[in-house]
Amino acid sequence: MTAMSMVQALNSAMDVMLGRDPKVLIFGEDVGFYGGVFRVTEGLQKKHGERRVFDAPIAEGAMLGAAVGMGAYGLRPIVEIQFADYIYPATDQLVSEAARIRYRSAGEFCAPITVRAPCGGGIFGGQTHSQSVEAIFTHVCGLKTVMPSNPYDAKGLLISAIEDDDPVVFFEPKRLYNGPFDGHPDRPARPWSGHPQAEVPDGYYTVPLGQAAVVRPGSAVTVLAYGTMVHVALAAVEEAGADAEVIDLRSLLPLDLETIVASVKKTGRCVIAHEATRTCGYGAELSALVQEECFYHLEAPIERVTGFDTPYPHALEWAYFPGPQRVAAGIRRVLEA
Amino acid sequence: MNDIPAKSEKLRLHIPPHRPQPGGHADFSYIHESAAGKVKRPEVDVPSVKTHPLATRLVRVLDDDGKAVGDWDPRLDPETLRQGLRAMMLTRAYDSRMYRAQRTGKTSFYMTSTGEEAVSVAQAMALRPDDMLFATYRQQGLLIARGYPILDLMCQVYSNAHDPLKGRQLPVLYSSREYSYYTLSGNLGTQLPQAVGWAMASAYSGDTRIAAGWIGEGATAEADFHHALTFAAVYRAPVVLNVVNNQWAISSHQEVAGGDEATFAARAIGFGLACLRVDGNDFLAVYAATKWAADRARANHGATLIEHFTYRAGSHSTSDDPTRYRPKDDPQNWPLGDPVERLTNHLIKLGEWSEERHAAQEKELTQLVRDTDREARSYGTLDEGPHFPIESLFEDVYKEMPWHLRRQLKALEGGQ
């Protein structure tokens, strides 16, 4: 066990898998010599060689296209998209190709690709370095979509993603790279060290895709969150003084519906929090599922606390960000309904 | 005082004209072919820049008399030539049968490769059987030349109970891992960077197999084409990249894709890739160019972009009518002839073939295709079934069926 930041845990996951499986290779913009703009691949080229970890031209569509071909050959490429906001040029290769290869070839070919992409805001990245685009990919059959909230899960989920025989889009909340963030930008930034989920085994382990984690038990209301919003939700629950159960979804597709349903049937109330824009966000799907599964147990309308349906702003970042105050207000509304 | 004038003429937007007129006559005056045998064959290890002058020439081996001339002549033995002829004739017979099957409502859609058979058949023969192919929808000749069963092709087109792809794909979007033929996409161009990625993986693994990818001249405008060329150049991928310039992208003539400004082979120059431009209706030239590019790739000298200059003699698919956008007499007047006729004449000139043998082979292949079609239809057709069972709808979306798909399958079976 070592105390690791999320950056170090992700780096460790790739280090472990490069060591275990010669079919694993990594490429992306600035990931080789430099080690990535967020340092997630730091030292990996030096340790494993240029053949295994290398820089790619600035062409996300080309990276994914090449990765699909490599997957057809039998390799397990890990592609880093420098920011989730830059994933759009790769969507045709991801959505029309990687996601459909197994189906359209009746199982003859597959695309065992892991696409890593830093997502979310909170770093004054403006509209092209802050987006949460997960719902675009959860909508696509054939893809799996994952977003960890802490170093332990990040490493275990990334190893599961790399070993998965289907394409996985792995979103890394960049505001959590170097410390947990509860949505209070005015308070001093905390590092991961000392956080229980920052104790990470040095070697191989997995966190299976499709399993949520109850990060705070409670009985009055269920809060569904993922990524940065898990920490925001926990802060909001404290500030609202609510007996809330907070669930970290970890993997959006496949989704651990059982854990969600068991919780909402117990609490009878549900708040969904995500950073992404509201309309057709993943919260809409969660809300529909909770309604379908738990209608007769619900004692209040389901509440969504989300980013607004605007581009991610620069100066007004904290007005956009669904911070603890807004989540707490949502919890109170649901409790008082 | 500066030299920027205050006034200048109005700007004009250039829209490429649609020159071939449906009511008019064929006009191929824009084509300036090199005479057969005139283009010199460089060694396969030359720096790519030495191939760049070839971007505006046309590698041709068969002359107007059916003789093989010049140093691009691959000197194939007569038996190999007869094999090539047979595969091209079988492709044509198969196309003709399936085109009619669509016309009689037995399936939804079909695409013939008439006039372009040399591009696929000669290329399959110039590559090793385990080189990986990333084709478009008009290279059925690749599979046929590799000996893929016609019956399986037909079952795919009928989407019937024996369809290797379980009725999931539009007709002609074949896939065969066994025959090293990657699953076809209906999205144009996506296969080209995939071919490069596969080639990179083969090189990464110290393998000896190379990849080959195809794209139409129309789809070279897609980013995927430029992605493929960038990656092929940067990583020196062992891949043969083919632009099949059949002059037509549905109703858009090749100038809409930028063919008037530069040849498609010339696209390679800016990327520093080797390039060849070849008479796509000349079986020997296509074979020789492909072999050159494959040898170069196999020797770790990197990728080659080959433009195959050919002509789409039929419609784009069963969904369009070429007489609405080009002269009726266009196909007959294509100045570079027909690939089957040209190879036939060559073999006859060599004394290795005859009109009688040709007629007999044509009859035999027509019969073969007819009999195979009868068997294929006995396993079902799109209009009448049988098709794959309902659960196949939910299989292969993921390796393991997740709960939400199991639930949807159950709901469908329960009539919900």
Mark out chain B residues that contact chain A at CB-CB < 8 A.
132, 134, 164-166, 168-169, 173, 175-177, 182-183, 185, 187, 190, 192-202, 204-205, 211, 223-224, 227-228, 230-231, 234, 395-399, 402-404
Higher-confidence residue of B416 and A337: namely A337
Give chain A positions within 8 Å (CB) of B227: 59, 61-62, 65
Q: B204, A51: Cβ pair inside 8 Å?
A: yes
Q: A104, B134: Cβ pair inside 8 Å?
A: no
* B-chain residue closest to A52, CA distance: B204
Q: Is A277 an 8 Å CB contact of chain B?
A: no
H/E run at residue B358: helix B355-378
Asked whether the predicted pLDDT for residue B378 surpasses 70, the reply is yes
Higher-confidence residue of B33 and B163: namely B163
Give chain B positions within 8 Å (CB) of A107: 395-396
Distances (CA, A) of A274 to A78, A283, A324, B2, B390: 26, 7, 12, 57, 37
Q: At A266, which CATH number?
A: 3.40.50.920
Q: Per-residue pLDDT tens for B231-254?
A: 999 999 999 999 999 999 999 999
Terminal Cα distance for chain B, rounded: 80
Give chain B positions within 8 Å (CB) of A104: 165, 168-169, 173, 175, 183, 185
Q: Per-residue pLDDT tens for A65-84?
A: 999 999 999 999 999 999 99
Q: Which residues contact B317 (CB under 8 A, 6 or more apart)?
A: B109, B110, B111
Confidence category of residue B5, pLDDT binned at 50, 70, 90: confident
At B2 the pLDDT is 76
Record the pTM. 0.97
Superfamily (CATH H level) for B48-385: Thiamin diphosphate (ThDP)-binding fold, Pyr/PP domains (3.40.50.970)
Q: Is A67 an 8 Å CB contact of chain B?
A: yes
Closest in B200, B205, B230 to A59, CB measured: B230
Q: Let me know whether A76 and A40 are in one domain.
A: yes
Strands (E), chain A: 2-3, 24-28, 53-55, 76-80, 114-119, 144-146, 168-173, 199-200, 213-216, 221-225, 244-248, 251-253, 270-273, 303-305
Give chain A positions within 8 Å (CB) of B200: 66, 69-70
Provide the residue type at A113 as one letter.
Answer: I
Q: Let me know whether A134 and A13 are in one domain.
A: yes
Q: What is the DSSP letter of A94?
A: I
Closest in B195, B397, B403 to A69, CB measured: B195
CB-hemisphere CA count at 13 Å for A99?
Answer: 20
Would you say A249 and A255 are in contact if contact means Cβ atoms under 8 Å apart?
yes
Q: Is A289 an 8 Å CB contact of chain B?
A: no
Q: A142, B397: Cβ pair inside 8 Å?
A: yes
Asked whether the predicted pLDDT for residue A217 surpasses 90, the reply is yes
Confidence category of residue B4, pLDDT binned at 50, 70, 90: confident
Q: Let me know whether A141 and A69 are in one domain.
A: yes
Q: What is the DSSP letter of B248?
A: E
At A315 the pLDDT is 97
Take residue A271 and report the two structure tokens written for it: 């708040």
Take residue A49 and report the two structure tokens written for it: 């060689």
At A296 the pLDDT is 98
Q: B198, A73: Cβ pair inside 8 Å?
A: yes
Q: Let me know whether A168 and A284 are in one domain.
A: no
Give chain B positions within 8 Å (CB) of A62: 193, 224, 227-228, 230-231
At B49 the pLDDT is 98
The length of chain B in residues reads: 416
Q: B227, A210: Cβ pair inside 8 Å?
A: no
CB-hemisphere CA count at 13 Å for A143?
Answer: 25
The packing angle between helices B117-126 and B78-103, to 10°, is: 140
By percentage, how much of chain A surpasses pLDDT 70? 100
Would you say B365 and B93 are in contact if contact means Cβ atoms under 8 Å apart?
yes
The reply to whether A205 falls in a domain is no
Report the C-alpha gap between B416 and B412 in whole angstroms.
6
Instruction: Kindly state the average pLDDT of the residues B209-217.
Output: 98
Catalytic residue selected from A48, A129, A231, A274: A129
Give the residue extent of every domain in chain B.
48-385, 390-416
Burial of B357 (0-12, 13-18, 19+ CB in 10 A): middle
Q: At A88, which CATH number?
A: 3.40.50.970
Burial of B283 (0-12, 13-18, 19+ CB in 10 A): buried
Q: Per-residue pLDDT tens for B393-408?
A: 999 999 999 999 999 9
Q: B177, A92: Cβ pair inside 8 Å?
A: no
Q: Let me know whether A146 and A183 are in one domain.
A: yes
Closest in A62, A72, A166 to B230, CB measured: A62
Q: A108, B168: Cβ pair inside 8 Å?
A: no
Q: Is A65 an 8 Å CB contact of chain B?
A: yes
Q: Has A129 been annotated as catalytic?
A: yes
Peptide bond into A254 cis (omega under 30): yes
Q: Let me know whether A196 and A296 are in one domain.
A: no
Q: Per-residue pLDDT tens for A152-184?
A: 999 999 999 999 999 999 999 999 999 999 999
Q: Let me know whether A234 and A142 are in one domain.
A: no
By percentage, how much of chain B surpasses pLDDT 90? 95
At B68 the pLDDT is 98
Q: B190, A97: Cβ pair inside 8 Å?
A: yes
Best of A105, A137, A169, A258 to disrupt the B interface (most B CBs within 10 Å) is A105
Q: Of A58, A113, A73, A167, whose CA–CA distance to B239 is shortest?
A: A73
DSSP reduced 3-state for A203: coil
Q: A104, B402: Cβ pair inside 8 Å?
A: no
Strands (E), B272-397: 274-279, 304-309
Domain stop point among A200, A222, A252: A200
Q: B175, A165: Cβ pair inside 8 Å?
A: no
Report the C-alpha gap between B358 and A88 in whole angstroms.
54
Exposure b/e, B125-137, CB count within 10 A at least 16 = b: bbbeeebbbbbbb
How many Cβ contacts (< 8 angstroms) between chains A and B?
A: 139
Q: B201, A69: Cβ pair inside 8 Å?
A: yes
Q: A103, B403: Cβ pair inside 8 Å?
A: no
* A-chain residue closest to B200, CA distance: A70
Would you say B201 and A74 are in contact if contact means Cβ atoms under 8 Å apart?
yes
> How many helices (H) does chain A have, and how many strands (E)?
12, 14
Q: Which residues contact B121 (CB under 8 A, 6 or more apart)?
A: B84, B87, B88, B91, B141, B142, B144, B145, B283
Closest Cα of chain A to B118: distance in Å?
A: 26
Query: Strand A251-253 and strand A144-146: pairing?
Result: antiparallel
Q: What is the DSSP letter of B342?
A: H
Q: Let me know whether A36 and A154 are in one domain.
A: yes
Q: Let me know whether A241 and A274 are in one domain.
A: yes
Q: B399, A102: Cβ pair inside 8 Å?
A: yes
Q: Per-residue pLDDT tens for B311-325?
A: 999 999 999 999 999
Q: Is A111 an 8 Å CB contact of chain B?
A: no
Q: B183, A110: Cβ pair inside 8 Å?
A: no
Asked whether the predicted pLDDT for residue A63 surpasses 80, the reply is yes
Domain stop point among A177, A200, A223: A200
Strands (E), B247-398: 248-249, 252-253, 274-279, 304-309
How many of the other CB atoms lie within 10 Å of CB of B79? 9
At A6 the pLDDT is 98
Instruction: Kindly state the average pLDDT of the residues B40-59.
Output: 97
Give chain A positions within 8 Å (CB) of B164: 106
Confidence category of residue A117, pLDDT binned at 50, 70, 90: very high
Closest Cα of chain B to A106: distance in Å?
A: 5
Q: Let me know whether A124 and A231 are in one domain.
A: no
Confidence category of residue B1, pLDDT binned at 50, 70, 90: low
Q: Per-residue pLDDT tens for A268-321?
A: 999 999 999 999 999 999 999 999 999 999 999 999 999 999 999 999 999 999
Q: Let me know whether A149 and A6 are in one domain.
A: yes
Best of B133, B178, B204 to disrupt the A interface (most A CBs within 10 Å) is B204
Instruction: Kindly state the average pLDDT of the residues A223-245.
Output: 98
> How many helices (H) does chain B have, and how many strands (E)?
10, 7
Give chain B positions within 8 Å (CB) of A96: 185, 187, 190
Best of B226, B397, B398, B401 to disrupt the A interface (most A CBs within 10 Å) is B398
Peptide bond into B386 cis (omega under 30): yes
At B138 the pLDDT is 98
Terminal Cα distance for chain A, rounded: 45
At B33 the pLDDT is 80
Query: In this predicted structure, which of A173-177, A328-332, B29-33, B330-334 has the lowest mean pLDDT?
Result: B29-33
Domain total for chain A? 2
**Residues forming beta bridges with residue A251, ordered by sequence position:** A146
Domain stop point among A200, A232, A247: A200
Asked whether the predicted pLDDT for residue B45 surpasses 90, the reply is yes
Closest Cα of chain B to A52: distance in Å?
A: 9
Instruction: Kindly state the average pLDDT of the residues B48-62.
Output: 97
Q: Let me know whether A177 and A35 are in one domain.
A: yes
| Domain enclosing residue A101, as ranges | 2-200
